[in-house]
Amino acid sequence: MHTMDKTPRIITIIGLIFEGLGVLGAFLGGWLLANLENFPGVSSSSMQLSPAEFREMMDLFVWLSKLVYGQAIFISLLFLVNVYLFTKLMRSQFTEEKAKLVYLYQAIWGGFNILFNQVTGILYLISGVSGYSGHKEEKDIREGI
């Protein structure tokens, strides 16, 4: 069984936390867009729009909220896949070959995710590449003295 080093493990945990926050932020953004009309101070007169223009803008925000909700659902599914795979990897439940595939997936997902969530993308890239390349942390020879 493959044992994950401490540094990639910590980086992966931080990446999962930031990815989870991104999922929550996407759902919150969709909710804000869908309910913008109900916020205090949001009216056609405060935005200096005619009622027809205001209604058109609110309809556009509702449409955008559906788009953001769709994105949130998609990234939440990927987040659940990542939680499943990466926790199994951290718990040493993969063979060396399967762990290498998970590291490759982590690096590819990190490279793709860098377009949307730069912090998570960079963290996953670092962890995935170091794990895939087989980089092992050096043990302190003075440990135990």
Answer whether residue 118 is part of any domain.
yes
The H helix count followed by the E strand count for the chain is: 4, 0
Answer whether residue 1 is part of any domain.
no
Q: What is the pLDDT of residue 5?
A: 76
Answer whether residue 141 is part of any domain.
no
Sequence-ordered list of residues with C-beta below 8 angstroms from that of 71, at least 6 positions apart, any chain: 26
Q: What is the pLDDT of residue 42?
A: 73
Rounded-to-integer distance, Cα 47 and Cα 58, Å: 12
Rounded-to-integer distance, Cα 45 and Cα 81, Å: 46
Answer whether residue 104 is part of any domain.
yes
Q: pTM surpassing 0.85?
A: no
Answer whether residue 44 is part of any domain.
yes
Q: Could you give the angle at the alpha carbon of 130 between the alpha carbons of 129 and 133, nearest 5°?
A: 80
Answer whether residue 3 is part of any domain.
no
Residue ranges of the chain with per-residue pLDDT less than 70: 134-145
The tally of domains found in the chain comes to: 1
Q: What is the pLDDT of residue 3?
A: 77
Answer whether residue 143 is part of any domain.
no
Residue 95: domain span: 8-132
